[in-house]
Amino acid sequence: MTDQAQTWMDSAYGYVHTGTGDQNVYNVGFANLGHWLRNTARPDPRRIAKAELDRLRASFVAPPELVRARRTLDSACAVVLLGRTGSGRTTTAKMLLEGGTDDVLVRQLLDQREEGQGIALDPEQIEPGGRYLLDLSAVEERRFQVFMEELSTAVEELPDKRARLCIVAPWERRAELPPALQPLRVDITAPPQPEVLKKHLLMNGSNLDPQTVAGSPRIRERLQNATLHEVSHLAEELVRTRRHRGESDEELLDRVLPVEASSAAALVDVLETGRQRAVLLARCLLPDARAESVLDAAEDLADAAAEAGEPVPVLERRPLSRQLDDLVGLLHAGGDTTSPGQVRRENLTEAHFAEAVTDHFWDQFQALRPQIARWAQRLVHSGRLEPAESTAFVGRFVRLSLRTSPELLDEAVKAWTDGRRPHLGLPAAGTALEAAVVDPRRGSAFRRLLYDWATLPGLPRERAQVVLGVCTGTMATLYQRQAMVRLHHLSRQRDPQIAEVAREALLTSTNDTAWLQRALLSRLAPADPRHGSADAALFAAFAEPERLTEGRQRPRVSGWFGNELARCWADVLTGHPQESWEQPARAWLRAAAPGRPRASTLLAILVHACGRDGTLHALLYALAADVEREDGARRGLAAHFLTESRKRLGLSCR
């Protein structure tokens, strides 16, 4: 895919580095953040996009309606895919837009309410030749109607722009489609679940025989009415399960499949005290943590749930392994008939069973959710967990919160960014938000949270650092325009360090992408009087001629882009003192000297920016003459400027 490509992700990607040790944007001191951003390898959107599309192709099983959907998209430049949850409607849209080519522009359109606007769609985001996905699966009813009204007009403009749009919507909303969209409707039904499971097993490198798996009665029972996401999850469970020595495929399936929700519920229900349940929940949320960390966490959890009583002194604690054996022993002693003899201590650290236990706690003990959230906040700040353990724990807490209680995650993120122990809290907040912003149902609310933070006057540096991290990590690859908007707002912060680092990140993230540069420039012209000096500083850095004229992915400096550059230059020249723009103007004039690439275009932009203000023309002519004196290679610059200036002012060129 090209630099312009949009990627699709199901997990968060952050900064990468080539050194040793645990290093990420959240545990770098703010004073060193600018240097770190400049010198640390960034995610390559092209590489991530290609990897994700390869993954989608490898696991994709076409629904019966794919051919009809492609025909509709080809003829009308738009298609509305309706389907029930788990039907594969969104994946189908991505495959339709990807189209099997490597040079396609694929971007996701989002509700402009996330950007503080009243409209749902911004028509200017749809560029000629672009391909776009609009996923309305999780949009509330009132907002859905707003989208329908705006889409009726937007789809009519697609053929003229040779752009393509796939709209994904719930099947239950089929009656709400306006007449203009009804001909574009294609109802998507899920492909056969056994075929999807086989594909996922092959893609994940499973050594299970696909035919044996698909033929298992228990597998067939699990697949009945399963969504495609649940099928994918089942494949991951089977791949993650460790095969016992000499165990056949049938024996592994018999061992794994029953040890889930029913066995987890039976184990939780048979436990007699809150402390026992705290030990079980702590073990399942921290399956890879050290025994000491789990026991400490269990004590804290029991205390958070008001079940602690007198704390057990460390020397009197029974070993974690013995306590876990006791818990499993209670299940067997109780005569569990759901899966007799199936649950063993090692099951408690197997991902699928640990997840079933935590889900049971979360779903059946709803009053415990706020206590678990407060415990999670304290556990991260306690420093008892190794960095990798903390990251994994936060990921599990995020998964639970996003299912039913996003407000608890919101509270946790705010607690982790309150300035206490930032070396522990900021990585947790970053991990949580990088997962939350890509969540199909809840992502909009958390992207809006980052927007609100970025626009908040006097934003604390801790929260600014998290916005920077998410917007230069996950959002930089998945929601590039939205990341650019938030970084732009950060660059307007009163704190000069926040503004400088955000400006650096903004320029770096847009440097190789022409459409993002156009989007950023459209935000700078005309000038916003509330942020004049901040935007002028940003434009001065943005308008370095090398950024605009060298390399493959550079916008044309003529046409619309050239006119917008001239508008920005005019705002800077007329609204700010000369000392603030003299150095950028000198750099621009050096690039506009005769014989340089696109010299005439660059000079014309600067002359046009002067309008009919003779004083400005005189100031820039003096700068041009000075540049020519400093560098003999720029010979003829002043004369060329004078000629163009006279034309602009309507004076004789003799």
Highest average pLDDT, of 101-105, 258-262, 323-327, 642-646, comes from 642-646
Structural domain contains residue 441: no
Q: Using CA atoms, how far apart are residues 496 and 448, in angstroms rounded to an integer? A: 24
Q: Which residues pair with 135 in a beta bridge?
A: 168
Structural domain contains residue 55: no
Co-location of 349 and 215 in the same domain: yes
Structural domain contains residue 89: yes
Tokens of 204: 């994940």
Co-location of 163 and 214 in the same domain: no
Co-location of 157 and 187 in the same domain: yes
**Plot region of 611 (φ>0 → left; ψ -120 to 50 → alpha; else → beta):** left
Structural domain contains residue 126: yes
Predicted confidence band of residue 496 (pLDDT cuts 50, 70, 90) = very high
Please give the mean pLDDT across all residues of the chain: 82
Give the model confidence (pLDDT) of 259-293 as tens digits.
455 677 777 777 777 888 888 899 889 988 888 88
Total domains in the chain come to 3
Co-location of 127 and 207 in the same domain: no
Tokens of 156: 């009519």
Co-location of 185 and 215 in the same domain: no
For the ranges 124-138, 301-315, 454-468, the lowest mean pLDDT is seen at 301-315
Co-location of 152 and 267 in the same domain: no
* Chosen domain end from 144, 162, 191: 191
Q: Which domain holds residue 228?
A: 194-388
Higher pLDDT, 181 or 241: 181
Co-location of 81 and 136 in the same domain: yes
Predicted confidence band of residue 256 (pLDDT cuts 50, 70, 90) = low
Co-location of 163 and 215 in the same domain: no
Structural domain contains residue 30: no
Co-location of 252 and 375 in the same domain: yes
188 and 81 Cβ atoms separated by less than 8 Å: yes
* Chosen domain end from 160, 191, 222: 191
643 and 602 Cβ atoms separated by less than 8 Å: no
Report whether pLDDT(31) > 80.
Answer: no
Structural domain contains residue 614: yes
Co-location of 211 and 185 in the same domain: no
Please report, for residues 403, 428, 486, the alpha-carbon distance to residue 475 in angstroms, rounded to integers and kept in the order given.
21, 17, 10
Structural domain contains residue 449: no
Q: Using CA atoms, how far apart are residues 619 and 573, in angstroms rounded to an integer? A: 10
468 and 490 Cβ atoms separated by less than 8 Å: yes
Predicted confidence band of residue 547 (pLDDT cuts 50, 70, 90) = confident
Report whether pLDDT(345) > 60.
Answer: no
Domain harbouring 157, CATH code: 3.40.50.300
Report whether pLDDT(338) > 50.
Answer: no
9 and 477 Cβ atoms separated by less than 8 Å: yes
Label residues 180-217 b or e (16+ Cβ within 10 Å = b).
bbeebbbbbebbebbebbbbbbebbebebebeebbebe
Co-location of 279 and 380 in the same domain: yes
Residue 103: the pLDDT is 53
551 and 512 Cβ atoms separated by less than 8 Å: yes
Predicted confidence band of residue 530 (pLDDT cuts 50, 70, 90) = confident
Backbone angles phi, psi at 380, to 5 degrees: -65, -45
Residue 116: the pLDDT is 81
Residue 316: the pLDDT is 45
Report whether pLDDT(341) > 60.
Answer: no
Q: Using CA atoms, how far apart are residues 515 and 517, in angstroms rounded to an integer? A: 5
Give the model confidence (pLDDT) of 554-568 as tens digits.
556 778 888 999 999
Structural domain contains residue 404: no
Co-location of 286 and 261 in the same domain: yes
* Chosen domain end from 124, 156, 191: 191
